Structure 1
Amino acid sequence: MMKISKIAMGLSLAGLSLGACTENFEELNTQPNAIVASNLDIGLLGQAFANAQGRAMYLAPGGSTAGFQTAQSLFADLYAQYFATTQVNFDSDRHIQVGGWSNGAWNYFYGQAAPVIQFVEEFTEENELPLENAFIKVWKVNAYHRISDYWGPIIYSSFGNGETTVPYDSQEEVYRDLFTVLDEAVAVLKQNTGGSAFVGHDQIFGGSADKWLTYANSLRLRLAMRVKYIDPALSKTEAEKAVADGVMESNDDSAFINTTVQSRNPYWIITNWGEFRMSALMESVMVGYDDPRTGVYFSETVDYQESGEGQPYKGLRNGLSREDLGETGWNDAHSDMGVIFLNEGRGGSAAGEPWRVLSAAEVQFLLAEGALEGWAMGGSAQEFYEKGIELSMSEPRIGAEPAAIQAYINSDNTPKPVTFPGKPEWNLGPNSNVPVAFLTGGTKEQQLEQICTQKWVAIYPDGWEAWAELRRTNYPTPYPRLNSDNEDVPADEVMPRLIFVQGEYDNNNEAVTAAEQLPELTSRGGNSNGTKLWWDAKPE
């Protein structure tokens, strides 16, 4: 990891190779003192903001997957059981934290995203740009909660302290402060309704303060539900505050980062490498439910296209051994991602789908969970649950007809068994017996399972968020892996966290060693892949 120092706030943006997530992705070759109060170029500041948006989501300009593959595709996407590995040399699907990959993910965030976020936040504060400051504060919350959801304790409040040792904060400290940061940002956004900032550079909302306010409240709701099992009182307070201030209600409110030929959806690139396929859990759920989104999310298998026999959409077990992965035919026999995620040569678009940050559909499922707890969400759990399905299916990438949406909402279909004719010992029963149709007479836990399962489907392919929610709620009910090569995480458990990276022991040893002794780790097993995060506290 880079030794984190106080990157001079004159900041050599060129040194960070900023390619701003805008339509003009040229590198910024500015002098270190180009952005100063006496010589403010708001466009240049806007490009820095746009760059912070992309880097925080591991989206890199110029067609590079940068940290995305090693940060998300090879960890969260597999642990969320969206996909299963078909590449023989990829061990993370067997619960192995490959050190070079996690080290790269950590370094990318603290070397590429965090410095730009800090620069924009400090510059806008020092130069009295309150609305711009509110935007970056909200984005900071999004960026840091994601990193903490991987590691737990992280470098947060001391980032950029100018010292050779940079202390960690516990995850509890991080989350509690993120709510405070949202308070600060929301107060400014409320005072500037109808206002705008970073117009032409904001790649999510085009600079609309009103949209950022709705997003901030919706992000608060996500974090509020995340802490439900560890601090129910805080969760309720923050969830009700979010709803009172106004959360996403329609697909027009959803947060997606635009993609361009200079900044493509990372799946546009990595799907061409043939290293993963649809998971068995996805098959059980989506094919069992006869979900209209299946053919959008996934492609028919090559084997089915060529022979017309078998299932058009087929998932693979997670955790295949190296020996099994050494066999051929896995990619042809199992479903790749859908055409909308593929490159032009495979029927896709020039840039790939816009990149999901937080959708209105996800928000509805969060509201449904809050309503299930009896909190003041403004409706019933069933109403929000059904609206979440409706919004997901009516997103532009799906475009289902109203009749098809209603038929799905009313469906009694349940998940299906998964079978492997050549490997009958791999066969599994359905992951669950809950139907799509809301169980009005069901138990609270059954209704929660329905809500969380449909949310998991709706937010695909956001494995980062899906893995967090799978750990928090244990839904959708996951399948056991065929193998685990990690003695700390059995094959029938969900990977709880990533351990601290080697680069920190090389460059920030005193701080990372101290972080190992934080009570939220030591009380649960220490710095181990088997140690649950602070918010991962659902009763057994």
Structure 2
Amino acid sequence: MKKISATLAIGALLSLGACSEYDFDSKYEDPSKVNEVSIDRLMTGVFQKVKDYSCYEYNRYFGFDSQFVGKYAQTFGYVNSSSMYSPGYPPYIDSQWDNLYSALTQYRKMESLYNDEAAGVQAQNEAFMLAAKIHLYDFFAATVDIFGDMPFKEACMLPITNDVSGSYAHYDKAEDIYKTIMDELKEAALRLPEVSIPRNFNTQDFINNGDIDKWVRYANSLRLRLAVRVATQGALQEEGRAAIKEMLENPSQYPMVDEQANNVYIVNQKSGQLNFTAGSGLGDWVTNRQASGAIIDRMLSHGNYNMEGNDPLSGTYVKGEDDPRLLLLYNPVKIVNRNTQQTDEQRYLGTDLTVSDEVTEYYNSQAQDEFGNTGFSQITQNGFFWQNDKFDMLIMASPEVHFLKAEAYLMGYGVAADEARAKEEFLTAVSQSVNLYYYYDSVSTGENARQYEAPTADEVAAFAEARWNSPDYVDKHDAIITQKWLHEGILQSREAWSDIRRTGYPSGLNFPEVNGTIANVPNRWRYPTTEMNYNPYYKEVQDEDTYYTKLFWAR
């Protein structure tokens, strides 16, 4: 395995962030802290930079999702105000951009080393290259979905060329980046089963632990996600539909993440940088745990909003009618009108985005004893998600794949429109989502976990069937996207926002115009100030650098 001096290579690389905990650093050494650089270590360097936003890390979950895309997708609740469409802390958006290009710098160095190797050595290192590419491309596509056109083919060449004047990169069109990613994901998925597996691949790969089958499924599932995104409309509609047809009609050649056992994730750690503990954000930051009224409204299908009694299963939640995931996601609380101090105006925090006159009695022993549990509101504490060190950092989970298939079959994206197959995939997706949520509740270490019995297989199946047949939806496309949106919720707000921009569903979401700097939900986010100031090619995209320029795949 070819190695180079760190003084020659690392000085040119962007700084790599690493966890401060020994248990992680000792196993996955940060390339910026070691004396030698090699392809296997650089793959880990790519993973480390990407994980800050591919996982529920501090930057992504506490700054990016809950205070940015989660507001635009209405997967998090927020107060109706003139600044409600502004992120809580804009640098978290820019840091996704920075992390991406830091990861790309690692990958460029990998490419340079790999291209200089003899054929026999390349064969030993190909698995590292392909795994790094798949995860990097996942992150790159997600960042394109935020910004649109981005430097890509020419980006991050300085460590290779040492030419500062020639290191500034032109902007590639978003559709060209998407096409490259989809094409190369196909190549990677088909190539991976043929490559030799290095002895240390499983130790350096802290995502799939060296499981090549999972990497193949990850690549194919990511390609399906991107193909469905572009298949609706836009410049890559035909390419997207062709990819869908190829994969869905050849499932043995293009296996996907279709069962929980195939899920792609990073294992959570009780100690280390992947841990959620009290004081890390969710427990203390009100903006991170406000419930989405839009989600509550759709999970409580019976519409009984007059909460009575202390039992959350009596008068608040109707078993067999309401969404069983609600019990795990949100706490029962009471809403008190700030002006009148009346407690009989019980609404859900975030409902209709009009909560500026309300205050929540947060879930704790005092609130429980004095007020009782009389509603559902903020994201649950000490249970399903928060302080659950058994909750994996999900990157690609099987329910999403089945929702994508359901939409493709319903709409005839490259395959013959088939409502029966769409329904079958939808039922599988909803059932797997409910089961996945209750699985993480069952293994939770939180003190409020396992308060409710998991629904039986028959109950889950009946719930999924009822959602498909519900008269609430304008059409079945609405049913699919709404249930996908509910599944994504607080876990995949980026995907939820993209689905809204792409399809206009879930129907009935309210986005009122406000008298603020950002008057309504943006279609994209503006480029970081560093790009405006330092990249001379920013002029190529300057005219389109507005909050309301649509992505090429958006409706």
Which residue identity lines up with residue 240 of structure 1 in the other structure?
A: K
1:464-511 CA deviation, whole Å, 9 max, x = no partner?
111111111111125224553457654xxx431111222211222x22
Contact 2:229 2:553 in 1 (8 A): yes
**Alignment-derived partner of residue 106 in structure 2:** 116
Alpha-carbon offset, residue 218 of structure 1: 0.7
Alpha-carbon offset, residue 25 of structure 1: 3.3
**Alignment-derived partner of residue 439 in structure 1:** none
Contact 2:168 2:537 in 1 (8 A): yes
Alpha-carbon offset, residue 255 of structure 1: 1.5
1:338 aligns with 2:380: yes
| Cα 1:382/1:311, change in 2 over 3 Å | farther
Please state whether the residue corresponding to 1:356 is helix, strand or coil: strand
> Counterparts of 1:300 and 1:19 in 2: how far apart (Å)?
35
Which residue identity lines up with residue 279 of structure 1 in the other structure?
A: S
2:294 counterpart (245, 262, 281):
281
| Cα 1:298/1:131, change in 2 over 3 Å | same
Alpha-carbon offset, residue 274 of structure 1: 1.9
> Counterparts of 2:463 and 2:198 in 1: how far apart (Å)?
40
| Cα 1:248/1:479, change in 2 over 3 Å | same
Matches within 5 A, 1:227-242: 227-228=230-231, 229-230=233-234, 231-242=236-247
> Counterparts of 1:536 and 1:93 in 2: how far apart (Å)?
22
> Counterparts of 1:353 and 1:478 in 2: how far apart (Å)?
32
Alpha-carbon offset, residue 51 of structure 1: 1.4
1:536 aligns with 2:527: no
> Counterparts of 1:176 and 1:19 in 2: how far apart (Å)?
34
> Counterparts of 1:384 and 1:211 in 2: how far apart (Å)?
21
Alpha-carbon offset, residue 185 of structure 1: 1.2
**Alignment-derived partner of residue 385 in structure 1:** 426
1:181 aligns with 2:178: no
Contact 1:10 1:35 in 2 (8 A): no
| Cα 1:388/1:11, change in 2 over 3 Å | farther
1:433 aligns with 2:472: yes
1:205-225 CA deviation, whole Å, 9 max, x = no partner?
211111110111111100000
1:456 aligns with 2:474: no
Alpha-carbon offset, residue 310 of structure 1: 7.3
1:254 counterpart (252, 263, 267):
263
**Alignment-derived partner of residue 348 in structure 2:** 314
> Counterparts of 1:337 and 1:82 in 2: how far apart (Å)?
11
Please state whether the residue corresponding to 2:152 is helix, strand or coil: coil
| Cα 1:310/1:251, change in 2 over 3 Å | farther
**Alignment-derived partner of residue 391 in structure 2:** 353
Which residue identity lines up with residue 293 of structure 2 in the other structure?
A: A
| Cα 1:486/1:533, change in 2 over 3 Å | farther
1:80 aligns with 2:76: no
Please state whether the residue corresponding to 1:200 is helix, strand or coil: helix
Please state whether the residue corresponding to 2:300 is helix, strand or coil: helix
1:516 counterpart (542, 547, 553):
542
**Alignment-derived partner of residue 418 in structure 1:** none
1:171-219 CA deviation, whole Å, 9 max, x = no partner?
1111111112213312321324998863133233211111110111111
> Counterparts of 2:275 and 2:94 in 1: how far apart (Å)?
23
**Alignment-derived partner of residue 502 in structure 2:** 472
| Cα 1:55/1:35, change in 2 over 3 Å | farther
Matches within 5 A, 1:297-308: 297-301=329-333
1:408 aligns with 2:450: no
Please state whether the residue corresponding to 1:16 is helix, strand or coil: coil
Alpha-carbon offset, residue 512 of structure 1: 1.5
> Counterparts of 1:310 and 1:211 in 2: how far apart (Å)?
52
TM-score by length of 2: 0.74
1:85-114 CA deviation, whole Å, 9 max, x = no partner?
2598xx763356965443344334334x33
Contact 2:330 2:378 in 1 (8 A): yes
| Cα 1:206/1:487, change in 2 over 3 Å | same
Alpha-carbon offset, residue 134 of structure 1: 1.1
Contact 2:328 2:384 in 1 (8 A): no
Contact 1:152 1:533 in 2 (8 A): yes
1:145 aligns with 2:163: no
> Counterparts of 1:504 and 1:270 in 2: how far apart (Å)?
30
> Counterparts of 1:387 and 1:310 in 2: how far apart (Å)?
40
Alpha-carbon offset, residue 237 of structure 1: 0.8
TM-score by length of 1: 0.76
Please state whether the residue corresponding to 2:265 is helix, strand or coil: strand
Which stretch shows the higher mean deviation, 364-373 or 280-289? 280-289
1:55 counterpart (45, 52, 55):
52
**Alignment-derived partner of residue 107 in structure 1:** 98
- Point out where structure 2 has 5 or more consecutive residues left out of the alignment: 1-6, 159-165, 302-320, 337-342, 364-374, 442-453
Give % identity: 19
**Alignment-derived partner of residue 447 in structure 1:** 476
| Cα 1:270/1:362, change in 2 over 3 Å | same
1:223-252 CA deviation, whole Å, 9 max, x = no partner?
000101113321211112333212222111
| Cα 1:372/1:102, change in 2 over 3 Å | same
**Alignment-derived partner of residue 447 in structure 2:** none
> Counterparts of 1:393 and 1:451 in 2: how far apart (Å)?
15
| Cα 1:24/1:32, change in 2 over 3 Å | closer
> Counterparts of 1:66 and 1:488 in 2: how far apart (Å)?
22
Which stretch shows the higher mean deviation, 165-174 or 357-366? 165-174
Which residue identity lines up with residue 209 of structure 1 in the other structure?
A: I
| Cα 1:452/1:71, change in 2 over 3 Å | same
| Cα 1:342/1:216, change in 2 over 3 Å | closer
1:16-39 CA deviation, whole Å, 9 max, x = no partner?
243399952359476778335xxx
Contact 2:217 2:255 in 1 (8 A): yes
Matches within 5 A, 1:163-182: 163-182=166-185
**Alignment-derived partner of residue 207 in structure 1:** 210
2:282 counterpart (271, 286, 298):
271
Contact 2:502 2:554 in 1 (8 A): yes
Please state whether the residue corresponding to 1:256 is helix, strand or coil: strand
Which stretch shows the higher mean deviation, 20-29 or 49-58? 20-29
**Alignment-derived partner of residue 497 in structure 1:** 524
Please state whether the residue corresponding to 1:506 is helix, strand or coil: helix
1:289-327 CA deviation, whole Å, 9 max, x = no partner?
6000111122222669xxxx8799934147569xx37x6
Which residue identity lines up with residue 182 of structure 2 in the other structure?
A: F
> Counterparts of 2:407 and 2:468 in 1: how far apart (Å)?
22
Contact 1:12 1:33 in 2 (8 A): no
Contact 1:264 1:352 in 2 (8 A): no
Which residue identity lines up with residue 392 of structure 1 in the other structure?
A: S
Please state whether the residue corresponding to 1:226 is helix, strand or coil: helix
1:103-160 CA deviation, whole Å, 9 max, x = no partner?
344334334x333344445545544111111111111210100000001111222211
Contact 2:46 2:136 in 1 (8 A): no
**Alignment-derived partner of residue 315 in structure 2:** none
**Alignment-derived partner of residue 440 in structure 1:** none
| Cα 1:8/1:92, change in 2 over 3 Å | farther
1:493-536 CA deviation, whole Å, 9 max, x = no partner?
x431111222211222x22221235xxxxxxxx32212211110
Alpha-carbon offset, residue 84 of structure 1: 1.8
| Cα 1:33/1:101, change in 2 over 3 Å | closer
Please state whether the residue corresponding to 2:394 is helix, strand or coil: strand
